[in-house]
Structure 1
Amino acid sequence: MKHLSALLLLVLFSISLSAQQTQKPMLYGSSWMAVTGKPMAATAGSMIFQQGGNAVDAACAMLAATCTMWDTLSWGGETQALIYDPKTHKVIAINAMGVAPTGATVNYFKSKGYNFPPEYGPLAATTPGTPGGLIFMLMNYGTMSLKQVLAPAMHMAAGYAIEAQAANTIERDKDMLKQWPYSKKVFLTHAGEKREAPEPGEIFIQQDLLQTLTKMIAAETDALKKGKSRKEALMAAYDRFYKGDIAREFVRGCQEQGGLITLQDLANWKPVQEEPLMVNYKGIDVYKLQQWTQGPMLLQALNILENFDLKSMGYNSPKYIHTVYQAMNLSFADRDFYYGDPQYSKDQPMKGLLSKAYAKQRAALINFDKNDARIGPGDPYPFEGKANPYINLLKSRGFEMDTTRRNFAPKHDLGNNTPKDLYQDRLWRGTTSIEAADKEGWVVSVTPSGGWLPACIAGNTGVGMSQRMQSFVLDSTLNPFNVVTPGKRPRVTLSPSLFLKDGKPFLSAAVQGGDTQDQNLLQFFLDVAEFGMTVQRATEAPNFNTNQLWLSLGGTKTTDREPKPGQILLNSNTPAVIRDELKKMGYTLSFTERTSGPINAVYFDWKHGSLWGGSSNHGEDYGIGW
C-alpha cells in the first residue's frame, strides 16, 4: 500500500507540475516578437520593429543594448547566432567568436603556472567578435543602417538609469576593477567613497564607448555621402573598428595592461557564416551551431533519448530524471573530448557522433538502477568508417573503450574539493539571450557573451575585453581538439537553438548559464515536444542539472574543473519520494528555488498565424510582442 501511495504521489506531482499556472504571462503577437535579458534591451528591439525593421535588425539593436548595459557581456565579447531565412527556407549559422591572439600558446600559459588560461584580465581575452558579428548579420540579412540599429544603444551610452544587478556587481567586484585603470575610470563613479560603484537607478554615462560607437557611425555616414552602397558603408564601420583608429586604441590599451592582442590579430579576424548541425527528433528538425560550441551535445542527447518512451515515464519522475541525466552525461563526455574549432581539425568525428546508430550504442550503456560514474567518451569513428586515432590517448586517461566492460573510473574524473558555491558559480556563469521573430518569417536566436563584469576595458574605447580564453585547454589528454593555439576559436558553451517542423519554424530558444545551457534547452524542448507544455510554461518549468562534466569556465587548476559524478541540482519543490528514489540510484542532491534557467523563446502558431513569446521567471529577462 505504501508503495502504491508513493507511485500515486509521483503521478500527481507530474500532472500538477505540467499543468500549473505560470508566474509570468504568455506574450502574444501577430507582427513581431522581441525577447531578451533586460526590459530596456527588449524595448530597444521593439523600437526597431516599430520603425519597420525586420527580426535581424531588431536582434542587432537588442545585442547592442545588452552590451551597453553590461548584461553579463560587453562590446568586446563574442556573438553567435542561428537565423531562419524565409526567402531560402534555410537555417543559417553565424560564427562571430573571437580567436586566441598572437603569443597565446600552451608554453606561454604554462610558463605562468596556469593549467588553463586565466579567468579575468587582459590574458583572458580573445579578439572581439560582437561588433563584427553584428555588422555581418545586419549587412547580409537586415534592412536598416548601423546608425538606426545602434541609436538605442548610443542613447544609453550617453546616460541611462543603471539597473541594480549591474550596479551591485560593480560594487562587489570593485577591488578587481581597480587593477585596470580604464575599467576603474568607467565603473567606479564614486571613487574613494564607501560605495564606489553607481547606485541602482543612477544615470550611468559611458563617454568612451559613446565615442567608439559614434566613430563607427561616422564611417558609415561618410561612405554613404561618397556614394558607397549600403554594404560598403557597413564595411567602412567594420574596418574602422578592426583596422582603423578604434583598433589602434584597443590594441594599445590591451597591451599596456599586459594583453597579447595585436593589430594584425584584429585585421585578420572575421565572422564566418557556417552550415548548422541538425538532427531530427520525432519529426522535428533541431538546429545547433557547430562543434566550436557545446550545441551538438543537445543533438547527441536527443538521439540517445529517442530510444526511450519519455512520455510514459512521467514528467520529472525518478526514471525520467535518471534517463535524461544519463543521456546528458554520455553526451557531455563526448563534448569534453571531441569538440573544438573545426577550422583547426579535419578529423573530428561529428558524423559519427550525430549518427543514430552511435546514439543507440550509447543508449545501451544506461543502467536504469543507478548513476554510472564511469561514463567516458565513446568511439564514434567506426560509425563513419574510420579508426579512432585517439584510442591510446583515451586509454591514458583511464577510459576503457570496450563498452561491454568498464571496471574502473577515469583517474581525472572522480573527486572535486572545489567549494560548492564557487563550483556552482562556474557552472551557471551567465550571459544573455536574444530571440526575435517577425511576420515575414525571419527568426533570430542569439547567445552573445564575453566581456562581462568584472571586465578589463581596452584603453579609451569603453570596450570590455572578452574572457573566453579560459575555455581552451592546455592539456591534449583533456581534449586534443581544444588546445589553445593563436588564431583558433575556443570551444564555448554559447548555444542558441532553432526547431523546424514541416519545414517551418516551430520554436526558437536560447538561455544563459555556462555548461547548463544545453541542459536547460534540452529539457525545455522535451517539455514542449513530449509533454505538450506551452512555451511560457516550458520556460518556467523546473529543470535539473548534472555536474558530471568538465567545467568550461572558471579556475586555473585541473581540480577546479573536474566532474562531480552523480551530483544533481533539483528544484526545491521536488517531493521527498522522488528525492529518496534518486538517492537510492546513487545521486547526491542539491536544491534551489528556481531551476528553469533564464530561457527566452518564441513558439510559432501556424494555425492562427501568431507568435507566442516565453520568458522565464528565473531572472530579469523580458519580452515585448505586437
Structure 2
Amino acid sequence: MTEFTTRPEILGTYGVVTSTHWIASAVGMRILEIGGNAFDAAVATGFTLQVLEPHLNGPGGDMPALIYSAKTGKVQVICGQGPAPARATIDHYKAEGIDMIPGNGLLATVIPGAFDGWMLMLRDYGQLSLRDVLEPAIHYAEHGHPTLARVSATIAELGEFFRTEWPTSYETWLPGGTAPAPQSLFRNPALAETWKRILREAEAREGREAQIEAARDAFYRGFVAETIDGYLRETEVMDGSGARHKGVLSADDMAGWRATIEDPVTHDYHGWTVAKTGAWGQGPVLLQSLAILQGMDIAAMDPCGPDFVHSVVEAMKLAYADREIYYGDPAHAEVPLDILLSASYNAERRSAITDRAALDLNPGVVPGFEDQRALTLAMLERVSGIGAVYEPTMAHLSEKKGDTVHIDVIDREGNMVSVTPSGGWLQSSPIVPGLGFCLNSRAQMFWLEEGLPTSLAPGRRPRTTLTPSIALHEGRPALAFGTPGGDQQDQWQLSFFLRHVHHRENLQAAIDMPLFHTSHFPGSFHPRTREPGGVTIEANFAPAVLDDLRARGHRLTVADPWSIGRLTAAKRNADGLLRAAATPRLMQAYAVGR
C-alpha cells in the first residue's frame, strides 16, 4: 500500500540532489548531468544558495560537511568552520564593555571558513573546473533571481537600521531605497564581480588544481582578505550590544588559516552507524541521544504518539545538557566523548528519565571534570536568562534572525555529501564595500568566561550548531540528511532518523510527519536563553497527544501546522537505487533526480 505524502519520494539511478531551494537543487542536478560528481554538484549548489538565500548564508560564513568518497571508501568531515582571530580575547571584549558577544556586528566575526571548505572539497574530491561550479552562482548574482518572500520581508524590516547604521548594506539590499518585492528579480553585481575576479586570477594559472589554489589565495591571501582588512581597520558599527564596535579580524588571520579534513565521530544504532562532526560542533548530541534511546523500545511506539515525543524530548534534554558542560574545540580542550557516548554512561543517563517532563538542567558527572561542570553550571545560572529560544528560519518567528541552508547529494558512483552552510547572512554584519557580501557572527557561540571549553580564545573554533549527517546501514554508506535550524538541527534530524529506521522506508513520509523540539537548554545564539520544560510542537499532532504531553508536565508552545524544520535527505539502496526527499515546509526545499 502506497503511503500518502505531500510530494513523491524522488527515485532514480543517475543522481539525486536535495536542498533548501528549488533553483539550487536544479543547479546541482545540472552539474551531475554535465559530468560532475556529487562533490562538484554540492559546491555549485552551495555557491548558488549564497545568492538565493542571503538571509541564511553567504560567502563570509562557514560550512561543515560530511562526505563519503567511493574512491577512498571513507566517511570524512570537511571542517570549513573558521576559528576566532588572534585579537579575539576575553580581555579585549570586556574592555569593549561586552559581557556577552552580540549576535551581529563586527565583534561577532570569526575567520570566514566557507570558501576554503568548498575549495578543499572541489580540489580533493571533485573533477570539474572552478568555472563550472561558480558560473551558476555568478549568473544569478549578475542577472538576477526571484526574491523569496522571506528575503523581502527580512530586508524591509531591517531597512531603516541599514539606512542609519549599516549604509553599505542599505546600498546592496535596498537599491534605490526600496526593498525588493517578493518574486521580483534581485541582483548583486558586486558579488558577481568578486567571483569573476577570483576566476580571472585563478585562470591566469595552468591546470585545474593550480586554479583552485589560486582562488584560495585570492580569497584568503589576496584582494578579498585585503579588502576585508582595510574595511575592518577603519569601521566601527552598531551591533546588538547597543553600542558601536570595531572588529578584530585581520588579513593575517585569514592568511594563516585553511580548511581541514577530519575523521567523524560515530555511533552504532540498530544496524546503522551514524557519522557526525567532532565536539567543535553539536553533532555528537544526536549520537548520545541515540545511545540513551537504545535501551527503549522505540519501534513499539507510535511515531506520532505521546510516548515517542516524551522519550525523544527527555533523551535530548540530557544530551544537550552534556553539550553545555563538555563540548568545545578538541584542539584546545579535552572533551570526554568516549565516556559521553559509552553504553554504561548512557544507561545511567537513561535511568534519569521518568514519566514526567524534567524541568532542571541535568548534565551528567564525568570523573575528572567535576570542577568544569560546577563552573559551567554556576556561569549558566548567572548569565543564561529564561525565555523562548528561537529557531531562526521558522515561519512563526522573527524574520530578523539569520540561520542556515542544507544540501544532500548522491551520485551514480555512490559518492555522498551532506553539508550545512551557514553564517554571513545579510543580518549578521554590514556588507564589505566592493565585495558584495558580509561577514559571519559565529563568535556569539563563545562565552566570555575563563576556563570553559567554549571560552573565547584565539585560534579556537566556536561550538557551532551546524551538523550534517551521513549514516551507514550494515557498514554500507546509505543515507545523507540534515536541516537548518540552529540548536534544533539535531532534534529534527533525530526524529526523522528514528522514524525512518523504525517506522518508515519512505524518506518523504518520514520528513512529512509532524515535528517538535525542546528549548529546555541554553540556546547557542545571543541572548542564550532557555525555557525549562519548553517544547515547541506542530499543531499537526492530534489534540489528545498534546493533552497527554501537557499532563506529563511539558510546557507546550503549539506552532502552526507545517511550520517547523527544513529537513532534506538522500539515500542509496544496496542495489544502487537512489532516493531523495525534501520538506514541504516554507515551500522552498526540493529534491530532484533521475
Find 2:12's aligned residue among 29, 46, 51: 29
**Paired residue secondary structure (2:195):** helix
**Paired residue secondary structure (1:590):** strand
C-alpha separation in 2, matches of 1:80 and 1:131: 11
2:526 matched to 1:541? no
2:139 matched to 1:171? no
C-alpha separation in 2, matches of 1:379 and 1:48: 49
Please report how far the alpha carbon of residue 276 of structure 1 lies from its aligned counterpart in structure 2 after TM superposition: 0.4
Q: Which residue of 2 aligns with 1:47?
A: 30
Please report how far the alpha carbon of residue 118 of structure 1 lies from its aligned counterpart in structure 2 after TM superposition: 1.2
2:593 matched to 1:625? yes
Find 2:441's aligned residue among 463, 467, 476: 467
Q: How many residues align?
A: 575
Would the alpha carbon gap of residues 81 and 421 (structure 1) be closer, same or farther in structure 2, given more than 3 Å must change?
Answer: closer
Find 1:293's aligned residue among 276, 281, 286: 281
Q: Which residue of 2 aligns with 1:230?
A: 208
User: Does the 8 A contact of 2:504 with 2:510 survive in 1?
Assistant: no
C-alpha separation in 2, matches of 1:238 and 1:461: 15
Q: Which residue of 1 aligns with 2:537?
A: 570
Find 1:98's aligned residue among 64, 82, 105: 82
Q: Which residue of 2 aligns with 1:142?
A: 126
Find 2:226's aligned residue among 234, 248, 258: 248
C-alpha separation in 2, matches of 1:282 and 1:512: 26
User: Does the 8 A contact of 2:389 with 2:529 survive in 1?
Assistant: no
C-alpha separation in 2, matches of 1:411 and 1:220: 51
For structure 1, the 5+ residue unaligned runs are 1-17, 381-386, 400-409, 556-560
User: Does the 8 A contact of 1:92 with 1:275 survive in 2?
Assistant: yes
Please report how far the alpha carbon of residue 190 of structure 1 lies from its aligned counterpart in structure 2 after TM superposition: 2.3
**Paired residue secondary structure (2:434):** helix
Find 1:601's aligned residue among 569, 572, 577: 569
Q: Which residue of 1 aligns with 2:240?
A: none
Q: Which residue of 2 aligns with 1:403?
A: none
Would the alpha carbon gap of residues 431 and 472 (structure 1) be closer, same or farther in structure 2, given more than 3 Å must change?
Answer: same
- The alignment's TM-score, normalised by the length of structure 1, stands at 0.88
C-alpha separation in 2, matches of 1:24 and 1:617: 8
Would the alpha carbon gap of residues 72 and 55 (structure 1) be closer, same or farther in structure 2, given more than 3 Å must change?
Answer: same
Letter of the 1:209 partner, please give it.
Answer: L
Please report how far the alpha carbon of residue 344 of structure 1 lies from its aligned counterpart in structure 2 after TM superposition: 1.1
User: Does the 8 A contact of 2:361 with 2:520 survive in 1?
Assistant: no
**Paired residue secondary structure (1:361):** helix
**Paired residue secondary structure (1:190):** helix
User: Alignment RMSD, CA only?
Assistant: 2.4
User: Does the 8 A contact of 2:389 with 2:523 survive in 1?
Assistant: no
Q: Which residue of 2 aligns with 1:5?
A: none
Q: Which residue of 1 aligns with 2:166?
A: 180
C-alpha separation in 1, matches of 2:390 and 2:467: 25
**Paired residue secondary structure (2:30):** helix
Q: Which residue of 2 aligns with 1:331?
A: 319
For structure 2, the 5+ residue unaligned runs are 236-245
**Paired residue secondary structure (2:331):** helix
C-alpha separation in 2, matches of 1:582 and 1:318: 6
2:96 matched to 1:109? no
2:386 matched to 1:416? yes
Please report how far the alpha carbon of residue 420 of structure 1 lies from its aligned counterpart in structure 2 after TM superposition: 8.1
Identity across matched positions, percent: 32
Letter of the 1:374 partner, please give it.
Answer: D
User: Does the 8 A contact of 2:157 with 2:400 survive in 1?
Assistant: no
Q: Which residue of 1 aligns with 2:238?
A: none
Q: Which residue of 2 aligns with 1:363?
A: 350
C-alpha separation in 2, matches of 1:624 and 1:310: 31
Give CA-to-partner distance per residue, 1:382-408, whole Å, 9 cap, x none. xxxxx41x3134335668xxxxxxxxx
Letter of the 1:217 partner, please give it.
Answer: L
C-alpha separation in 1, matches of 2:347 and 2:268: 15
Q: Which residue of 1 aligns with 2:111?
A: 127
Would the alpha carbon gap of residues 476 and 617 (structure 1) be closer, same or farther in structure 2, given more than 3 Å must change?
Answer: farther
The higher radius of gyration belongs to: 1
**Paired residue secondary structure (1:342):** coil
